[in-house]
C-alpha cells in the first residue's frame, strides 16, 4: 500500500468525521436529530414517549431505514449508530461484540419484544444470529439503565421489535443474491382488523463467506491458533409468529415468537463449526383499568444454544435459557406518571462442561416518577435487585430536561448501573471464580439538542466510571486465583457524541461522530486504552430521490485502537464507503443494488480476523400497498 494511498484514505476519514460534526448527514440513521420526532419510543422509560420528549440519548431505526440501507447483518446495522463500535471475528455469522459508549461488550442489555436475550454462559447476546429480515424496529438508548432493567445496562439498552402489520393485509417478499455466493430470501403475511392483528414471516440466508482468520498454529500460536485457509460459510433460517387481540374494551393480549437456526463455519483449534439456535417467545396482557391506571403482565423465555464440532466431529454443547416475568403498573396522578413493577428472571445452563452451579434467580422491584413543570421535565427511578448467588444491588437514576426555547432543549442526567458475572466467569471448569462480585458503574451526562426548519442536531457529553471490572488476572497476588477472572480493574470513560441532519438542494444529509477516552484506571495497565475501542468514529449518509430512482452513499470511519489491555497490538484506523441505488418498478415492487466497501479497504476490527472486501447485493422486494 503506497503512502499516497494511505494519505488519501486518512483524508476520507477526516472529511467523514468533520462533516458529521458540522451538520451534514441522513434521515436514514439520524433519528437523534429532528427527522422523526413524532415517533414513539418505550425503552427509555418502560412507558410510551414521543421521541422529542425523551430525556435520554435515543436512536430509532425503522423498517424503512433497514430496507433502504440493506445491511448484511444486525451488527453491520448497529455499526452505523452513534456511540457504537463493533468487533467482528471474520464476516457473516461470526462472533460479534457491541461496545456502546466505550463500555464492555457485555455491558449492553439486549431485549427482543421486551424479553431479555443473551447467553448466560458468555454473558452477552449473539447479535450475529438475529436475522435483520425479522426486525420491524430498533430502539437504542445510551446511558445507565439498570434502575429500570437490572443487570447488564451499564452502556445502554438495545431493544429489537419483530415485524408487525402495516395495514389490513400486507404480504411481503424479497429475494437477493450477491458476492460470496450469498442468497437471501424472505416472505411474510400480516394483517390488522378492528379487534386484532397477526404477522408471519420466514427468512433464509446463506453465504460461502470469507477466510475468517489469518491465524497460526504450532509452533507459533496467534489469532485463532490454527491455520485453516478455507472459506468460512454461514447459514440462517428463521421464523417469526406474532399476533394480538382486544379481548374486551379495556383488555389486550399479545403473543410473539421468533426462532433462528444457524450453521456457522469458522477457524479454530478445538472447534470450527457450530449449529446455533436463538429463540424468544413472550406473551403480554394489558388492562386499562381506568384513564389513570394501566396494568401490564408479561411472561417470556429466551434460549441460546450451540452445538460445536471439529471437522464435523462433536466436541461439546452449550444451552442456556432465561425464563422471565414482569408486572408493571402505570398511574397518572396530578400531572405525574408513576410507574412501579416487579421483574423475575431465572438463568439456567445445560452444557457438556460440568458447571458447579447451573441456575440462578434474580428478583427486582423498581419505581419511577415522570413529570413536566412548564418548560422543565424530570424522570427519576430506583431499583432493588436480589440475586440468590451474590446478594442485592440498588441502582438509581435522575434525568432532567429544559426547553430553553421552541428549538432548543438542554438535558442532564446521573445514574448508577451494574453487571452480574456470567456463568463462564463464575463456574467454567478450571477457569471460573465463584467469588466474583458484580461490576458497578456511575455516570453523568449533559446534552443539548436543536430542532430547526433546516433540520436538527444533538450534542451529548458523558463520563462513566466502572468499579470491580472483571478481567483475567495474570499477576499472582495473595487471596486471588491466578490466571482466572478477578474483580481487579477500574475504568473511566469520557466521551462526546454529535449528530446532525439537514436537507440541501434536494439531498438529505445526516451524520454523527463520537469522541472517546476509554481508559483503564488501575493496575499494571493504568492509563492505557481499553481494548477494541477507537477514540474517534463516525458516519455520513447522503441520499436523494429522483422520481422512481433513489441513490445514496454512506461513509463509515474509525480511528485506530488496540486489541489488548497492554496496548501493544494495534489495529489501524479505516474508512469504508457503501453505495446504494433503488428503482421503484411499481408502487409494490422495488429493485435495489448495494455495493459495500467499494474501495476494497483491508481492515480488521479484531486482530487476525479479516473483514469482507468489496461486495455487492441485488435485491428484489415486494410489499403490498393499500
pLDDT single digits (tens) 509-524: 999 999 999 999 988 8
At residue 6 the predicted structure's pLDDT band, cuts being 50, 70 and 90, is very low
pLDDT at 336 exceeding the cut of 90: yes
pLDDT of residue 25: 35
What H or E segment, with its residue span, contains residue 172? strand 172-178
Q: How far is CA 442 from the centre of its chain?
A: 21
Take residue 362 and report the three cell numbers written for it. Answer: 434474580
CB 561 within 8 A of CB 571: yes
> What is the band of 390 on the pLDDT scale with cuts at 50, 70, 90?
confident
Is pLDDT above 80 for 414? yes
Residue 584 lies in a domain: no
Which residues 6+ apart lie within 8 Å of 3 measured at CB? none
- In what helix (H) or strand (E) does residue 411 lie, and over which residues does it extend? strand 408-419
CATH at residue 7: 2.40.170.20
Percent of the chain with pLDDT over 90: 83
The C-alpha torsion from 262 through 617 and 112 to 338, rounded to 10°, is 170
DSSP assigned state of 609: B
The DSSP code sequence of 552-563 is EEEEEEE--EES
Determine, yes or no, domain membership for 259.
Answer: yes
| pLDDT number for residue 476 | 59
Dig out the grid coordinates for 620 from the structure.
428484489
Q: Are 379 and 398 in contact (CB under 8 A)?
A: yes
Q: What nine digits make up the cell of 83?
A: 456511540
Q: Which band of pLDDT confidence, cut at 50, 70 and 90, is reported for residue 119?
A: very high
Determine the average pLDDT of the residues in 398-423.
Answer: 97
Model confidence band, residue 329 (pLDDT cutoffs 50, 70, 90): very high
Is the pLDDT at 18 greater than 80? The verdict is no
HEC assignment per residue over 295-358? EEEEEEEEEEEEEEEECCEEEEEEEEEEEEEEEEEEEEECCEEEEEEEEEEEEEEEECCCCCCC
In-domain check, residue 477: yes
With respect to residue 568, please indicate whether it lies within any of the assigned structural domains: yes
How high is the pLDDT of residue 20? 37
Q: How confident is the model at residue 484 (pLDDT cuts 50, 70, 90)?
A: confident
Higher pLDDT, 23 or 71: 71
Residue 115 has what pLDDT? 97
State the pLDDT confidence band at 48, using cuts at 50, 70 and 90: very high
Task: Flag whether 623 is in a domain.
Answer: no
Report the pLDDT value the prediction gives residue 24, as an integer from 0 to 100: 34
Least confident of 17-31, 228-242, 252-266, 577-591: 17-31
3-state helix, strand and coil shares in percent for the chain, rounded to the nearest 5: 10, 55, 35
pLDDT in tens, 123-144: 999 999 999 999 999 999 999 9
User: Which pLDDT score is estimated for 275?
Assistant: 97
Grid cell of 458 as nine digits: 444533538
Q: Quick check: is 177 in a domain? A: no
- 65 is a domain residue: yes
d(CA 422, CA 106): 9
Q: What is the pLDDT of residue 348?
A: 96
Average pLDDT of the chain is 91
d(CA 217, CA 313): 20
CB–CB of 178/130 below 8 Å?
no
Q: Quick check: 606 pLDDT over 70?
A: yes
Residue 151 belongs to what domain range?
A: 3-169+182-575+597-613
* Helical spans, DSSP H, in 119-224: 146-149
Does residue 28 have a pLDDT over 60? no
CA 551/CA 26 separation, integer angstroms: 12
pLDDT, tens digit (0-9, with 9 covering 90-100), for 221-230? 788 989 999 9
**Residue 485 CB burial class (10 angstroms; 0-12, 13-18, ≥19):** buried
Report the number of distinct structural domains present in the chain. 1
Name which residue leads in pLDDT, 44 or 23: 44
Neighbours of 251 (CB within 10 A): 12
Residue range 294-316: average pLDDT?
96
Q: Is pLDDT at 428 greater than 80 in this prediction?
A: yes
In a domain, 376, yes or no: yes
Q: What is the pTM of this model?
A: 0.92
Q: How far are the Cα atoms of 25, 67, 512, 513 from residue 556, in angstroms, in the given order?
A: 12, 18, 10, 10
Distant-in-sequence, close-in-space partners of 500: CB < 8 Å, separation ≥ 6: 20, 21, 22, 23, 24, 25, 30, 33, 455, 456, 457, 458, 510, 511, 512
Nearest to 592 by CA among 69, 64, 207, 183: 69
The predicted pLDDT at position 474 comes to 61
Q: Is the pLDDT of residue 262 over 50?
A: yes
| Cβ atoms within 10 Å of 600's Cβ, excluding its own | 10
The number of angstroms, rounded, from the C-alpha of 115 to the middle of its chain's C-alpha atoms is: 14
Least confident piece of the model among 44-48, 224-228, 374-378, 476-480: 476-480
**216 band by pLDDT with thresholds 50, 70 and 90:** confident
Amino acid at each position: 500500500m503506497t503512502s499516497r494511498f494511505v494519505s488519501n484514505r486518512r483524508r476520507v476519514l477526516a472529511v467523514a468525521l468533520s462533516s458529521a460534526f458540522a451538520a451534514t448527514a441522513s434521515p436514514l440513521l439520524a433519528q437523534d436529530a429532528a427527522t422523526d420526532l413524532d415517533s414513539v419510543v418505550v425503552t427509555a422509560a418502560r412507558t410510551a414517549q414521543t421521541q422529542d420528549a425523551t430525556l435520554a440519548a435515543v436512536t430509532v431505526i425503522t423498517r424503512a431505514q433497514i430496507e433502504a440501507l440493506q445491511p448484511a447483518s444486525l451488527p453491520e446495522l448497529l455499526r452505523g449508530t452513534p456511540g457504537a463500535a463493533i468487533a467482528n471475528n471474520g464476516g457473516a455469522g461470526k462472533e460479534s461484540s457491541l461496545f456502546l459508549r466505550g463500555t464492555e461488550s457485555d455491558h449492553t442489555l439486549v431485549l427482543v419484544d421486551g424479553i431479555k436475550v443473551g447467553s448466560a454462559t458468555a454473558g452477552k447476546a449473539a447479535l450475529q444470529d438475529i436475522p435483520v429480515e425479522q426486525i420491524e424496529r430498533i430502539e437504542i438508548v445510551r446511558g445507565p439503565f439498570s434502575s429500570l432493567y437490572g443487570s447488564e445496562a451499564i452502556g445502554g439498552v438495545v431493544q429489537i421489535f419483530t415485524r408487525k402489520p402495516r395495514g389490513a393485509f400486507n404480504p411481503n417478499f424479497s429475494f437477493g443474491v450477491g458476492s460470496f455466493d450469498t442468497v437471501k430470501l424472505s416472505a411474510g403475511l400480516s394483517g390488522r382488523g378492528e379487534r386484532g392483528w397477526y404477522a408471519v414471516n420466514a427468512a433464509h440466508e446463506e453465504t460461502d463467506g470469507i477466510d475468517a482468520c489469518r491465524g497460526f498454529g504450532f509452533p507459533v500460536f496467534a489469532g485463532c491458533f490454527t491455520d485453516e485457509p478455507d472459506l468460512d460459510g454461514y447459514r440462517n433460517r428463521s421464523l417469526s409468529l406474532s399476533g394480538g387481540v382486544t379481548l374486551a374494551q379495556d383488555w389486550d393480549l399479545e403473543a410473539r415468537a421468533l426462532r433462528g437456526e444457524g450453521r456457522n463455519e469458522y477457524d479454530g483449534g478445538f472447534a470450527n463449526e457450530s449449529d446455533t439456535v436463538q429463540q424468544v417467545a413472550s406473551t403480554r396482557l394489558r388492562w386499562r383499568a381506568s384513564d389513570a391506571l394501566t396494568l401490564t403482565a408479561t411472561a417470556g423465555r429466551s434460549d441460546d444454544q450451540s452445538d460445536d464440532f471439529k471437522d464435523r466431529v462433536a466436541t461439546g454443547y452449550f444451552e442456556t435459557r432465561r425464563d422471565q416475568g414482569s408486572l408493571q403498573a402505570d398511574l397518572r396522578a396530578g400531572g405525574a406518571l408513576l410507574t412501579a413493577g416487579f421483574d423475575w428472571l431465572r438463568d439456567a445452563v445445560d452444557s457438556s462442561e460440568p458447571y458447579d452451579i447451573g441456575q440462578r434467580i434474580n428478583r427486582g422491584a423498581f419505581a419511577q416518577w415522570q413529570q413536566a413543570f412548564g418548560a422543565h421535565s424530570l424522570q427519576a427511578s430506583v431499583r432493588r435487585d436480589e440475586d440468590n448467588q451474590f446478594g442485592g444491588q440498588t441502582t438509581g437514576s435522575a434525568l432532567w430536561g429544559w426547553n430553553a426555547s421552541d428549538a432548543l432543549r438542554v438535558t442532564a442526567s446521573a445514574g448508577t448501573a451494574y453487571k452480574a458475572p456470567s456463568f463462564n466467569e463464575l463456574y467454567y471448569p478450571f477457569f471460573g471464580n465463584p467469588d466474583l462480585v458484580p461490576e458497578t458503574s456511575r455516570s453523568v451526562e449533559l446534552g443539548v439538542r436543536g430542532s430547526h426548519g433546516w433540520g436538527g442536531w444533538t450534542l451529548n457529553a458523558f463520563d462513566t466510571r466502572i468499579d470491580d471490572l472483571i478481567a483475567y488476572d495474570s499477576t499472582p497476588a495473595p487471596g486471588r486465583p491466578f490466571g482466572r477472572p478477578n474483580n481487579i480493574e477500574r475504568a473511566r470513560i469520557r466521551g462526546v457524541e454529535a449528530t446532525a441532519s439537514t436537507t440541501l438542494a434536494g439531498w438529505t444529509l445526516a451524520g454523527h461522530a463520537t469522541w472517546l477516552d476509554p481508559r483503564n484506571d488501575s493496575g499494571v495497565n493504568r492509563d492505557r486504552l481499553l481494548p477494541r475501542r477507537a477514540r474517534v468514529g463516525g458516519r455520513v449518509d447522503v441520499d436523494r430521490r429522483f422520481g422512481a430512482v433513489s441513490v445514496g452513499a454512506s461513509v463509515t470511519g474509525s480511528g485506530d485502537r488496540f486489541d489488548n489491555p497492554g496496548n501493544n497490538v494495534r489495529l489501524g484506523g479505516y474508512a469504508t464507503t457503501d453505495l446504494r441505488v433503488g428503482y421503484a418498478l411499481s408502487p409494490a415492487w422495488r429493485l435495489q443494488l448495494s455495493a459495500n466497501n467499494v474501495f476494497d479497504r483491508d481492515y480488521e476490527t479484531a486482530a487476525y480476523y479479516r473483514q469482507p472486501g468489496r461486495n455487492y447485493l441485488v435485491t428484489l422486494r415486494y410489499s403490498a400497498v393499500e
